[in-house]
Amino acid sequence: MLVLKAENIAVERDGKQIFEGAAIEINDGDHIALIGRNGVGKTTLINCLLGKEKVTSGTINYSMKIGEWGIVTQESLQDNLLTTREFVESETLDLFNVKRRLERYERLIQDNYEDMDVLSKYNKALDTFMELGGYEWEVSVEKSLLKLGLKKDTWNQPIASLSGGQKTRAKLAKAMQRNPKALVLDEPTNHLDAVTMQWLAGWLQSFKGAILFISHERAFIDQVATITYELTPEGTKKYHGGYSQYLKQVEHERKTLEAQYHKQQAEKRKLLEAVTQYKQWFQKSHSAASERDPFAKKKANKNMTRFKAKEAALERLENNQVEKPKEAPKINVELEGGRFDSKILLRFENAAFQYDQDEKLFSSLSFTIDRGDRIAVIGQNGTGKSTLLKLITGHLLPVSGDVIHHPQLKIGYFMQELEGLDLQQSVLEQILELPQMTQEDARTILACFLFKGDQVFKKVKDLSMGEKCRVAFVKLYFSEANLLVLDEPTNYLDIETRERIEDALIVYPGSVVTVSHDPYMLEKVANRVFSLDNGFYEYKGTYMEWKKHVHLSKDEQSINNEIERLELQLSNLIAQELEPGDEIGTLALQKQITDLKKQIYQLEAEKKS
């Protein structure tokens, strides 16, 4: 069933075209990801589809009322004064307002139980509440909160005090109050840790209705999306599948266009040669022709017809010319990454850390960071990832043990670089401050990181958060540091920028330590893993190998649990006492014991393989 169909949508604001030619079709059960560069207008397009903003031109046809959609926006909730429960209840505004009136009258009655006017108003509000199904509604709210993983101890907490993951759950619980047949989510993965993002992906996978969502998290898109739309200033393009499938289809398109381009160029060369040849023949025949030599004149006319036909074919070819696919600019500025001869950059020796009187966050940390390392620091929120980075950079000192830096070590810390941007300078001025940076190199580098043309003259204070992150990364990358420490460097960044940063880190001559919840980035970059989920654990291998290791560990634990269960069952069978002379029972028991031993043997063999 068709939910929505938008065709040829164009949006203009303050005389500036944001995008044009956008089209999107949503059917029941579609799970659609909307991707595109920051600032291209993804949120604007969604607001137009929801009727919150006007389109400049185009048509939108609905088969479902907007009131039947569940909507999750990017609102921060930082200044929201409601409790978590009140926030979810506020989706059903009429009942929410009646309930608040009831609560107010209850307080007034407690202060003055003889006030008949207040009592009358209370009874009237109670009747309205019951007529609207208020008590059933309260049960529905509680079920939504529990279903979305919000425990009772969070219900009366201010919504502003919740973690990013809890706020996302609360927003979903609020949206579900409409019993929606379709969901719209604007960057629901912002500020979520890997565990919460995995939970959200699973929850959305099980949603039976249509979903339209914006996200820059490629792994999340792969898990949730059945269709991907890319929005550009020229419109939308539809791809089947998630982000991985989108990449394959885009690469196929690029190769097809490249083949068409080369074929067309070869055809163009042949036509040019033919036009030149026929033109020469015509001129030669024309010079030799005269009224007294009709054969030569006829030959000249024939050559003229041929070269005119080839010229027409050439014109048609040029009018339908395929543009050569453009490749993304690559960083070709020579990097030294800070001169460094030693293998070891820094060493932790039995380092421990705690905040004030809290329980120790780390104890007896011992490891080295070596030249060429690309270390991924992973773990759930609250496990100490950012704290570990600050111990590495020296912004925090261990309470015992040592963190020893090599004398030649120069650390570049992403958060420090981001906070230290000069808001009054232009993007170009910030980059020109780098050692030995020329105007030409600066413009080339900035183009690689999507600052093109006049964008380099924008003041830092006028940049979006994503653009500021890009400037901070460029400054850090070319700062001659030999160890980059990155705390969530891809937050606020669109997919294209993330991929540029990944490519840059792969060829970086120094070492890198990064905290990121983006598995695509870690899979491309990391060659060591520090996991903080169950204390500090170092894995010497790539992030891909780490994931396989964790998966195998879980499988092994599952096998061990099954072996324990079977061994317990076996011991119970062996301990059974049968009646003397019960040969049938004895045979049956022996068969059960043999079968259990065989199962245990097979599981032991599986564990060793």
Nearest to 337 by CA among 439, 410, 394: 410
Residues with Cβ within 8 Å of residue 606, at least 6 apart in sequence: 559
Round to whole Å and give the CA distance between 542 and 599. 35
Helix (H) or strand (E) holding 5: strand 2-13
**Is residue 478's pLDDT more than 50?**
yes
**pLDDT confidence of 131, banded at 50, 70, 90?**
very high
pLDDT at res. 582: 63
Tokens of 248: 């394959």
Lowest-confidence pick of 110-119, 385-394, 539-548 = 110-119
Residue 232 pLDDT class (50, 70, 90 cuts):
very high
Q: What is the pLDDT of residue 268?
A: 67
pLDDT tier for residue 114 given thresholds of 50, 70 and 90:
confident
Give the model's pLDDT for residue 211.
Answer: 95
CA-closest candidate to residue 38, choices 215, 255, 270, 253: 215
Contact 200, 168 (CB under 8 A): yes
Contact 427, 460 (CB under 8 A): yes
The tokens for 81 are 């004064």
pLDDT at 465 over 50: yes
Q: Is the pLDDT of residue 281 over 70?
A: no
Three-class SS state of 298: helix
Integer angstrom CA distances of residue 562 from 599, 600, 602: 10, 9, 11
Q: Which two tokens stand for residue 287?
A: 């010079």
Q: Which helix (H) or strand (E) element contains residue 483?
A: strand 483-487
- Of 272 and 239, the structure prediction assigns the larger pLDDT to 239
Q: What's the N-to-C CA distance of the chain in angstroms?
A: 49
Find out whether 481 and 393 touch, Cβ atoms under 8 Å: no
What are the Cα distances from residue 292, in Å, to 208, 296, 298, 304, 305? 86, 9, 12, 19, 21
Residue 15 gets the label, from left (phi > 0), alpha (psi -120 to 50) or beta, of: left
Task: Specify the pTM.
Answer: 0.75
In 3D space, the residue among 462, 460, 463, 475 whose CA is nearest the CA of residue 413 turns out to be 475
Q: Helices 194-205 and 164-175 meet at what angle, rounded to 10?
A: 20
- Please, which pLDDT band fits residue 107 given cuts at 50, 70 and 90? confident
Q: CA-CA distance, 81 to 326, in Å (whole number)?
A: 50
Q: Where are the domains of the chain?
A: 94-161, 248-319, 344-541, 548-608
Q: Are 329 and 267 in contact (CB under 8 A)?
A: no
Give the tens place of pLDDT for each residue, 479-512. Answer: 889 999 999 888 888 898 899 899 899 988 889 9
pLDDT bracket for residue 337 (50, 70, 90)? very low
Interval 523-532: pLDDT, tens: 999 999 999 9
pLDDT-derived band at 198, boundaries 50, 70, 90: confident
- pLDDT of 43 > 80? The answer is yes
* Dist. CA 185–CA 90, nearest whole Å: 18
Q: Distance between CA atoms of 191 and 517, rounded to whole angstroms? A: 9
Structure tokens at 389: 């980075």
Task: Give dist(CA 350, CA 53) in Å, integer.
Answer: 58
CA–CA separation, 287 and 296 (whole Å)? 9
Q: pLDDT confidence of 46, banded at 50, 70, 90?
A: very high
Instruction: Report how far residue 257's alpha carbon sits from residue 184's, in angstroms, rounded to the nearest whole number.
Output: 34
| Residue with the larger pLDDT of the pair 396 and 321 | 396
Percentage of residues of the chain with pLDDT beyond 70: 85
CA angle 498, 48, 17 (to 5 degrees): 70
pLDDT at 335: 47
pLDDT digits 0-9 by tens, 355-397: 887 778 898 899 999 999 999 999 887 789 999 999 999 999 9
Burial of residue 158 (CB within 10 Å: 0-12, 13-18, 19+) is middle
Provide the mean pLDDT of the chain: 84
123: its two tokens: 């009874």
- Tell me which H or E stretch contains 461: none
Give which of 178, 188, 174 is closest to 82, Cα–Cα: 174
180 CB-near residues (< 8 Å, 6+ apart): 68, 69, 70, 209
Report yes or no: 385 and 361 within 8 Å, Cβ to Cβ.
no
- pLDDT for 406-437, tens place per residue? 998 999 999 888 888 999 999 999 999 988 88
pLDDT of residue 167 exceeding 80, the answer is: yes
SS3 335: coil
Tell me the C-alpha distance between 373 and 376, whole Å. Answer: 10
CATH number of 344-541: 3.40.50.300
Q: Looking at the predicted structure, is the pLDDT value of residue 68 above 80?
A: yes
Residues shown for the chain = 609
Query: Three-state DSSP class for 238?
Result: strand
What average pLDDT score do residues 279-285 get? 61
What confidence score (pLDDT) does residue 88 get?
93
